[in-house]
Chain A
């Protein structure tokens, strides 16, 4: 079964960091770029950036540049997102998603709720 499974919900204080994982199964991990998006409560989706699991190349949204980093463990077919200097407005569900034809996102993780509160 083709799946993306993310790590569980996290709670952090402002200024802290969080690391979210996304484990892929059922397909060749290195073949498709992995994107990270987020969705604040009641809002639309916002793109954070992507990583190429094949070579580790990354591209980050300007909004998050300098605060976010994506990494890959190819042996575990797992992608990671590190977000630091957290603010209350970073409270959102964070999704990993596979880029497919179109381009569009055909496979999504279940989402990881990150709550930032003092």
Chain B
């Protein structure tokens, strides 16, 4: 059974700083099966990245995804106040599975 682990649990940074979020998968998966979502309180998740590194429609270029095998990352190059949210990674082999999430706080 595949398990997704995200770190850190919470990230507290200032506007303009760089955030790097990690998603580790318990076994190697194809990069094409990795996606990242942003979720604000009381809202549905919003797709940011699919195929590990492709930005979804209308996603600013300060969001980028990378990685391969068992380790994937989401980087927010210059944090803005509206980036305060919970971020989930997702893999899809035979069925979708989500990580526990990383909460990003903007100081």
Which A residues form the contact surface with B (CB < 8 A)? 35, 37, 44-47, 59, 61, 95, 97, 100-106, 108-111
Contacts and interface: CB of A to CB of B under 8 A. Distances in A.
Interface string B1-41: 00000000000000000000000000000001111010000
A101 B101 contact: no
A59 B94 CA distance: 11
Contact of B92 (A37, A46, A95, A104): A104
Interface residues of B, number: 25
Contacts of B95: 47, 59, 61
A44 B88 contact: yes
B44 A102 contact: no
B50 to A, nearest CB: 4
A63 to B, nearest CB: 10
A89 B95 CA distance: 22
A95 B44 contact: yes
B96 A47 contact: yes
Interface in B63-99: 88, 90, 92, 95-99
A59 B96 CA distance: 12
